[in-house]
A = this chain, B = another copy of it.
Amino acid sequence: MTSAAFDVLGIGNAIVDVIARADDAFLGKHTLTKGSMMLIDEQRADALYAAMGPGIEVSGGSCGNTMAGVASFGGKGAYIGKVRNDQLGGVFGHDLKAIGVSFATAAATTGPATARCLISVTPDAQRTMSTYLGACTGLGPDDIDTALVGSAQVTYVEGYLWDAPEAKKAVLKAFDAAHAAGRKVSITLSDSFCVGRYRAEFRALIRDKVDILFGNESEITSLYEVDTFEKALEMTRKEARIAALTRSEKGSVVIKGSETHAVPAARVAKVVDTTGAGDLYAAGFLYGFTHGKPLAECARLGGIAAAEIISHVGARPEKALKDLM
């Protein structure tokens, strides 16, 4: 195995967030389930946007946030994801490249617009997300540069990609290319509803291909359809190679075979917005992993990154994470 040009290659849904304040009545009127991510079509997206308050636009996407975190630690990152050649696509690409993440996926020149995630922030600091996947549905196997995959120590993907059938094929192609090059592959379960949609496929993938699994308590208990974290942990131990499971204020647990590393959460003065905690945990963990750190230290770095992200609004780091290590 040659030395790697990149620490982490991320593959994800390339999404621009539109964030606006809302009250509970707004969620009720538009039948939105607080705290969840729901997929919506273009017509629904247009109607919901028209009803939302004034917003701010900021690059997002779970995996995009993770790659921003890897770069903020000083890691070398690359990203594959599909935007349209429109203004928001330009914004998404700019914001990744501006922090030093390599991003060369060709933008679609026809078809739906760049994906938007309409985010309603309620006074209790929760975020309710409605995602119009738009151009993301155009991501396919042809977008996977196998040489690029082979040049990254870890290829990391989001479970959300299963929502676009061609994107799933792209992931499988990337996983095979990574393994052929002697590299590792990693996936996040994304959210418990996503797990509900693709449970059997995710379990097979974890058994057969995944080297590093990320998930939180609700995702992993949903995956194995058990009622406690402890039961899920033992199921995971049987099926996954390495798993890093997050538990909010209880910190995280990393397992690898018979090893178990329980790492407490990093201290946070005030939790402002929990969005992106999982994305940034993965960033810290993968930065540590690709820099030869022991698993407990990887988990500690994940916790540091998650603590930074939940201390402010927005899912991309405001402080350089390398200064917080």
Contacts and interface: CB of A to CB of B under 8 A. Distances in A.
A58 B18 CA distance: 10
A316 interface: yes
A316 B20 CA distance: 13
Given A86-B87, A87-B113, A95 B54 contact: yes
Interface in A43-68: 49-50, 52-59, 68
A55 B86 CA distance: 17
Nearest to A58: B56
A98 interface: yes
In this complex, which of A55, A57, A58 has the most chain B Cβ atoms within 10 angstroms of its Cβ?
Answer: A57
Number of this chain's copies in the assembly equals 2
A58 B59 contact: no
Interface in A90-118: 91, 94-96, 98-99, 113
Contacts of A54: 59, 68, 94-96, 98-99, 316
In this complex, which of A58, A86, A87 has the most chain B Cβ atoms within 10 angstroms of its Cβ?
Answer: A87
Nearest to A88: B87
A42 to B, nearest CB: 13
B50 A94 contact: yes
Contacts of A86: 86-87
A96 B113 CA distance: 23
12 contacts: A52-B94, A53-B98, A53-B99, A54-B59, A54-B94, A54-B96, A54-B99, A56-B57, A56-B58, A57-B57, A86-B86, A87-B113
Interface of A: 20, 49-50, 52-59, 68, 86-88, 91, 94-96, 98-99, 113, 314, 316
